[in-house]
Amino acid sequence: MNDFFVFDLLNTCLRVAVTLIVAFKLVEFYDDYKPTERAGLGMMGSGSFLTVPPIWAYQPGQGVFDGWAVTIMTIGIILLLFGRMSRHIRHRANNAAHVRQMEAELSARRDRRQSRKSSDKA
């Protein structure tokens, strides 16, 4: 019985910590997230918090979590990860385009420098 109580208490504290961290991130860094990421974070935090009551309502023979609470949290995690992944993909593409642009600009500068040196010699 004590093992279950310790894990219940630990699980509850961790779920509340996730909720508080998510709430802080959404309040303090709201503009840093895309809408998909904000929705995912919100659902992850609320889904995490909604799993606390089923932990304490556990009875032998039942599952620990209500399915809908875990589903909300899982959808939130998926949205957050998808939003972050799409941001990384866009950043990679934009960085590659910037590198190509800078290579072209540096090549043009070298060509102009070479043509000036050639015209100065003539």
User: Can you give the pLDDT at residue 62?
Assistant: 61
DSSP state of 32: G
Closest CA to 50 of 22, 86, 26, 90: 22
- Residues 43, 19: contact at Cβ < 8 Å? no
Rounded Cα gap, residues 19 and 45, in angstroms: 4
Highest mean pLDDT among 30-39, 40-49, 78-87, 94-103: 94-103
- Residue 96 pLDDT greater than 90, yes or no: yes
Rounded Cα gap, residues 107 and 112, in angstroms: 9
CB atoms within 10 A of CB 87: 14
User: Can you give the pLDDT at residue 110?
Assistant: 94
Q: Evaluate if pTM is beyond 0.75.
A: no
CA angle 74, 75, 81 (to 5 degrees): 90
Please tell me which residue, 117 or 67, carries the higher pLDDT value.
117
User: Can you give the pLDDT at residue 58?
Assistant: 65
- Residues 55, 8: contact at Cβ < 8 Å? yes
The one-letter amino acid code at 36 reads T
